[in-house]
Structure 1
């Protein structure tokens, strides 16, 4: 961290302190259940909690200073020399501190948003750009109005490139994040159906994602999914388009797919990624476009791609029992990402039995039944079996049955009821895909069939 108490004193007007302004601050923290050695404690006020109630624990855990909301009385137990920075609102102050640090340290700032693929693209960016830069990235799902500032404020002093994931579920949220971060480069991975319940339509989702340009620096660059009409000519500034269709700035063609990954060409240069999914090829092209702009060679880019690690439950390939292959893609789901996962399953040529285990998708609004049924559009041989799970997953099975495709279709109201039937399918010729929204926790079913190390 590169913020000092001098910075805090200069940034905020009111200060209660009778000690050393040069006290070392290594990071910011909110969770007093964990060690806070040399941390700036930031008490957040939520709907059901107030972090100000935990100042004593923060000091006990090693915090060396704290932000403090002015309208909350300062406790009498505070040590005389303990620095207190008084602010109108601790959440807004955290955002101000993050913007200040970015201006002070001046790393290259890359903002990433999109309906699907944000985390994978962030991980790809980190792997590739670390070939030339000292990078820092959003950890986990720290991608909201608090998570993004905390990611920035815990940026190492030596960082010269920060990769910030930006999430949202309603209008205005990405605009705020973009204005905090002021990115040099902004990436929109795609436009899907996630949060359509709040945003009304895919057009609304595109409008919300394009808010990432609101804080984009002058002469900043936008890189987008060029196969998505809603992102074509949507920004007046410089834009790079990536995709499979002709006319994109970076044009893609897949050459080979197997369980080890995908080989493809991007503007006629060949690359290999150690992950599944043609949508991940497109995510990679967004990274290639940015890496090109920053002067990395094809060799640099491929070296970075070789290092990337697939995040758990995102098309994660695992050895299954009885020699089978398990693809755990149960982290989350929308119709777009579920269709992409099914397409990936179809492309695995070395397996005679291809089974899709598909479950409920959430936050799809009033049209959720039709959106579930739309997944059936891509389900066809070589998929051999579809096992659906959950109340909403039934709609996928129903649509498939109406189409009378040459596929074995079974619906299970609960995950547990599917175990016996799936056990019968396991063999070296079987690959099973698991895909559903986070709330269903379908990974607990997938884990039943993963080969244990001692086997």
Structure 2
């Protein structure tokens, strides 16, 4: 990010200090404990905290200007020449500065949302577009009303393509993000059960995901899951591109072969190899192909991009365990749809025959939680050697697996330490362990015992 303080005075004329000076701003600071030279301090106000009181620390750690909620008194410790811009709401101000900067840089903007797969798809989009454009993407989980503007404001001024992941847990949230980003192209990966506790039904989730179209350019494209009945009504609309495995999809994927580490598939007359396992990842790649062709990339550029993907942490993250075992950490998040999908991947692995599932609670499923946890067992079959669960609701999975396959080793644990010790005792050179749960379960902590 590169702005000058004087540019902010155009957005916020109510100011004090050297607000009209050409002071260089290179970053945004929301955490006053971290060093951020030449930064704009944005003190976020939450339900139980107010960062305005840390203005002294912010200045000490590199802030050269700040936005300031106008009904809060400015401490005497703030130098008289320190630029302050007075606003009604600092979070809204953060979004406004991001909007200004995004329009100033003017990259191609791609918005990505969906119940599952949006982070993988975002990573794939960025990898492919980077073969032709200077590309910036959402880092980590910076995909909400604060994270998305911070992602934009961390963008290099020479950026040509910006890939923005858009998350939500309630209706109306993607609307805010879409209207801020105004994407040229939007992708909806799928409609699952995530956040059904807040939204009530998959139909309501689909409606919330479609909010991404509110800021979509009139000449842009909506790329969506063509196999999802809840999105069927959008498929015939102008500018919509459907992707999936069905015959009526605009971009139909046909898997030709797969291994533990890659999948070869065909779309139309072109064949691609994706360095990832899993049918769901092929669909994610198909979204990317549709987008890339729309932006004029060649088949060679697309394939080259697939080869350079850098996955976000805790997404099918492979670790070598004791005795040459394989530990797969996919504990970043989980829903019934994503948990079933990755179990299918584990079932298809050919390098290991002893397949152990370590599954934890999936959150925000509301009064459907027990039923949806139990449904995960539908993806389990005789190729799975053991199922171990932990959490208040995950016991439904191991119970259902035990009922269907009495000879399978299944057990529910109350503590992570006991769980990891038991799993470690089973590890051999022929064992693969999947770790999967919602973020709040922090199942990646098991790696301390399971990875040498």
* Band of TM-score, shorter chain: over 0.9
What is the correspondence of 1:278-293 to structure 2 with a 5 Å cutoff? 278-293=279-294
Preserved contact between residue 390 and residue 415 of structure 1 (Cα < 8 Å): no
Is 1:30 aligned with 2:30?
Answer: yes
Preserved contact between residue 275 and residue 315 of structure 1 (Cα < 8 Å): no
Residue by residue, what CA displacement relative to the aligned partner does 1:334-363 show, whole Å, maximum 9, x if unpaired? 100110011001111232212212221111
Which stretch shifts more, 307-316 or 212-221?
A: 307-316
Structure 1 342/405 Cα, relative in aligned 2: closer, same or farther at 3 Å? farther
TM-score of the superposed pair, with normalisation by structure 2 = 0.96
Residue by residue, what CA displacement relative to the aligned partner does 1:343-398 show, whole Å, maximum 9, x if unpaired? 00111123221221222111110011100110111111222222222331111122
Match of 1:122 in 2: 122
Is 1:131 aligned with 2:131?
Answer: yes
Aligned length: 451
Preserved contact between residue 276 and residue 315 of structure 1 (Cα < 8 Å): no
Preserved contact between residue 275 and residue 310 of structure 1 (Cα < 8 Å): no
Match of 1:82 in 2: 82
CA distance in structure 2 between the partners assigned to 1:220 and 1:123 by the alignment = 21
Preserved contact between residue 186 and residue 212 of structure 2 (Cα < 8 Å): yes
CA distance in structure 1 between the partners assigned to 2:25 and 2:421 by the alignment = 55
Which stretch shifts more, 202-211 or 34-43?
A: 34-43
- Please give the secondary structure, in 1, of the residue aligned with 2:426: coil
CA distance in structure 2 between the partners assigned to 1:414 and 1:20 by the alignment = 58
Gaps of 5+ in 1: none
1:182 shift after superposition: 0.6
Which stretch shifts more, 303-312 or 194-203?
A: 303-312
Residue by residue, what CA displacement relative to the aligned partner does 1:86-121 show, whole Å, maximum 9, x if unpaired? 112111111111112222221111111111111111
- Please give the secondary structure, in 2, of the residue aligned with 1:233: helix
1:322 shift after superposition: 0.8
CA distance in structure 1 between the partners assigned to 2:96 and 2:19 by the alignment = 24
1:67 shift after superposition: 0.8
Is 1:146 aligned with 2:146?
Answer: yes
Preserved contact between residue 380 and residue 405 of structure 1 (Cα < 8 Å): no
CA distance in structure 2 between the partners assigned to 1:294 and 1:19 by the alignment = 40
- Please give the secondary structure, in 2, of the residue aligned with 1:232: helix
Preserved contact between residue 259 and residue 317 of structure 1 (Cα < 8 Å): no
Residue by residue, what CA displacement relative to the aligned partner does 1:261-289 show, whole Å, maximum 9, x if unpaired? 22222224222222232211111111111
CA distance in structure 2 between the partners assigned to 1:107 and 1:196 by the alignment = 34
Which stretch shifts more, 306-315 or 193-202?
A: 306-315
- Cα RMSD (Å): 1.7
Match of 1:207 in 2: 207
Which stretch shifts more, 417-426 or 239-248?
A: 417-426
CA distance in structure 2 between the partners assigned to 1:244 and 1:251 by the alignment = 5
Match of 1:162 in 2: 162
Is 1:40 aligned with 2:15?
Answer: no
CA distance in structure 2 between the partners assigned to 1:19 and 1:11 by the alignment = 11
Is 1:105 aligned with 2:99?
Answer: no
CA distance in structure 1 between the partners assigned to 2:405 and 2:62 by the alignment = 65
- Please give the secondary structure, in 1, of the residue aligned with 2:288: helix
Preserved contact between residue 108 and residue 160 of structure 1 (Cα < 8 Å): yes
Preserved contact between residue 434 and residue 446 of structure 1 (Cα < 8 Å): no
- Please give the secondary structure, in 2, of the residue aligned with 1:350: coil
1:404 shift after superposition: 3.7
1:2 shift after superposition: 3.8
Structure 1 268/346 Cα, relative in aligned 2: closer, same or farther at 3 Å? farther
Which stretch shifts more, 70-79 or 26-35?
A: 70-79
CA distance in structure 2 between the partners assigned to 1:3 and 1:18 by the alignment = 15
Match of 2:391 in 1: 390
Match of 2:317 in 1: 316
1:19 shift after superposition: 6.5
CA distance in structure 2 between the partners assigned to 1:438 and 1:172 by the alignment = 23
CA distance in structure 2 between the partners assigned to 1:347 and 1:390 by the alignment = 27
Is 1:438 aligned with 2:417?
Answer: no
Match of 1:381 in 2: 382
Preserved contact between residue 226 and residue 242 of structure 2 (Cα < 8 Å): yes
